[in-house]
Structure 1
């Protein structure tokens, strides 16, 4: 059966963010058929630790029957109903209330989407619409950051600060600019870069600044403690809206319900997806501040010509409510904080026992290990060695699924296991990472040093 599935995959399934050539030559790398807690099992019967929570999103773990049960119950009652033309239904209303109750500060009104890319595109449109209603329609530009990942829809691709995503279709939308990120830079340097962008573009043309609290796909880049307060102050100085992209960091991932809470900074808009349903059903949204919502209510006329067929999907809303209930009942943000600290201690021990580990970092259950040629000098390996790729495959061989980042000649291994993980499982990951790094050291040989 597995062989037949592999052939069908090659013939009919175009995979996202994958090598088409590799798929056609070798078929799918793995065909998974079962998930249980932090584990995935493939059609060959091999079991792996899902140390990425699949795509940073299976926060409550695999195989939670509670979400299936609530989905079934909602489908039998009202599987789908439109939210257009002010139509409404109970699950979306209750979910909007719930998200408003747990979101930081004055973020109290929610626009629902089907996922993260839609959420960020929506945030950009709402920010521009806000300024248009306020009588400043020239404020259209969005400032993002290098190494940022904000999705692959039209606008969110342009906000993404990783050029490989722009190159795919050969297009880049106007009115998007990128400042420096605080990776190997001080807060002062990153803030100065953003100030220069603002002054060059003209503050009167800028609608919003968007940032992930922790840059995920860019390599789990955790900002300095004073960075986001400085960003908030700069946005206030120039009258720029601040959008927090919480698509990876939301719903407990960083040890807080939302990532920006680690720095006590209040955004004007907050986007979410992934962890809101732990990936059990596609869903996302944008939460806006009272000030933005009040402007929409007071000055809007006619129809808000923006929306998706599945905005406020009843079944997805019911699943999200149950997912949030589990996060709170099991205190999973606190567990993420505790287990993240244990993971960091394990990474530090591996660094002391091996030759090629540079920086290691975690915040909650977001973590990264950098592989470098000379840790003392932070000298990186030549890109042609493909050290991160070798490490990922070594981890696969040891039964751990995680993710490499190789942009800008980095070799970073990212980790984001489900928030239900326990101490024993963390220690198993650490042991397997140690063994994988040792295997990579042997593979690349002394000539690499």
Structure 2
């Protein structure tokens, strides 16, 4: 027996994997308990919208892995064959002054799917890298035009744009920023588009006016000659499926045009069908200068991300002092990754994945809206296949006022109950202290699976209400 066989075929595989993981594997955003006494869930296989762990337990993946397995788990052979063909021909070459066929064809395909004029594509390996790339492009664009003071960026509170240094600076999530501060000093934050908990009687038009006035006031305060770019997600993921109010995206575009600011749409989650369109910008009529993407481009089957922009943005840079975009990544445009993405897009088109979202999004939302019958479901929001439930103990005040703190409720009751029910989703606490349940499943989810998912939520909420919050 070889060393490899000895490792992968033990008498008690799960027990050995538990021990090896806790000794050697550093997990992402995972509590220290998992390195000690708490058992680690080790996933072993997947099919459709479902995954199974090493112990044989089956779960509906209500979060598409990490908002990325858009085509579900059943296409590994097909995408694997595409990767295998590419690996046998050209396993690697960089895009540093060279190209390869998969990266060329994928760039052309993305240009055909993106909003008008968005035709220039730069590849990365992740969403964080994509946003870092966009930050550098924004900076170099203004430098090439002679606007040397334009260095400041605006993002939204509670937003999430990645965990690398620059992307973390964009983030508006205090809980993951503060440990690493000081970060970049040139980022400012404005309000996001959450309607729930806004003042009673405020109209949508007034809310939009408030948001746009705040952005414009900040630009004026900082000095229009110093503001370089605004980063927004078409629908903000962090804080729970925050959709734009009427007139917001048009207003942001107008402000960017008025003050010479580049608008960046972070589509790392919204892109590739999550909202029923190839890009969330299309869904809402957002007209960005730059789009960043990752996750759904290859449905998580291969690490890949990137940035799309226009000739209008690139021409000053390519005709500027350096005559190049001063940025590069070893694995950007990796031929095998691009081959995987091309096949993923082919599958999405062939299987009618976007059509499935469009045909079922209203049904999904209606089923979730029905959960408002529960005393603790305060708000249901989202679009496409991305929804969030905000939980409160006082619907009139829209607050969590229980003697059981929201963080304790989520950690010790809600999250374990959801997991035990066989539903994988995100249970978290909003920055305002209210629990959230977030759902962003594979885009192939059927109505029967929607029914099953909502039935599990219904049962868990009923159970928690019966336990009580005193």
1:208 is aligned to 2:229: yes
Describe the SS at the equivalent of 2:265: strand
1:415 correspondence with 2:439: yes
Q: Structure 2 CA distance, aligned partners of 1:297 and 1:411?
A: 48
Q: Shift of residue 218 of structure 1?
A: 2.5
The residue number in structure 1 matching 2:25 is: 13
Q: How is 1:37-116 mapped onto 2 (pairs within 5 angstroms)?
A: 37-64=48-75, 65-84=77-96, 86-116=97-127
1:148 aligns with 2:151: no
CA offset at residue 444 of structure 1?
Answer: 3.1
Measured after TM superposition, the shift of residue 63 of structure 1 is: 2.9
Is it true that 1:428 corresponds to 2:452 in the alignment? yes
2:398 alignment partner, one of 366, 378, 395: 378
- Contact 1:128 1:207 survives alignment (8 Å): yes
With 182-191 and 96-105 compared, the bigger mean Cα shift is at 182-191
* CA 1:303–1:296: 2 relative to 1, 3 Å: closer
Cα drift, residue 25 of structure 1: 2.3
2-side partners of 1:330 and 1:92: how far apart? 23
Aligned partner (choices 417, 422, 425) of residue 399 of structure 1: 422
**TM-score (structure 2 length as normaliser):** 0.91
In structure 2, distance between residues paired with 1:375 and 1:22? 34
Residue number in structure 1 paired with 2:10: none
The CA distance in 2 between the partners of 1:241 and 1:268, in whole Å, is 6
- Aligned partner of 1:442 in structure 2 is 466
- 1:130 alignment partner in structure 2: 141
Question: CA separation in 2, counterparts of 1:343 and 1:109?
Answer: 35
Which residue of structure 2 aligns with residue 159 of structure 1? Answer: 170
- Identify which range, 358-367 or 389-398, moves more after superposition: 389-398
Do structure 1's residue 360 and structure 2's residue 405 form an aligned pair?
no
Q: CA RMSD in A?
A: 1.4
Distance 1:228 1:388 in 2: 33
* Superposition pairs of residues 276-425 of structure 1, within 5 angstroms: 276-301=297-322, 304-352=325-373, 354-382=374-402, 384-385=405-406, 386-389=408-411, 390-408=413-431, 409-425=433-449
Counterpart Cα distance in 2 of 1:7 and 1:197 = 52
Name the count of aligned residue pairs. 443
More displaced 10-residue stretch of structure 1: 307-316 or 354-363:
354-363
Query: Structure 1 residue runs of 4+, over 4 Å off?
Result: none
Of residues 252, 272, 276 in structure 2, which corresponds to 1:231? 252
Q: For residue 180 of structure 2, give the secondary structure of its aligned residue in structure 1.
A: coil
Work out whether residues 266 and 293 of structure 2, in 8 Å CA contact, stay in contact via their aligned partners in 1: yes
Q: Aligned-pair distance for 1:300?
A: 4.7
Residues 240-251 of structure 1: matches in 2 within 5 Å?
240-251=261-272
Tell me, yes or no, if the aligned pair for 2:18 and 2:40 is still in contact at 8 Å: no
Distance of aligned partners of 1:388 and 1:381 in 2 relative to their CA distance in 1, 3 Å threshold: farther
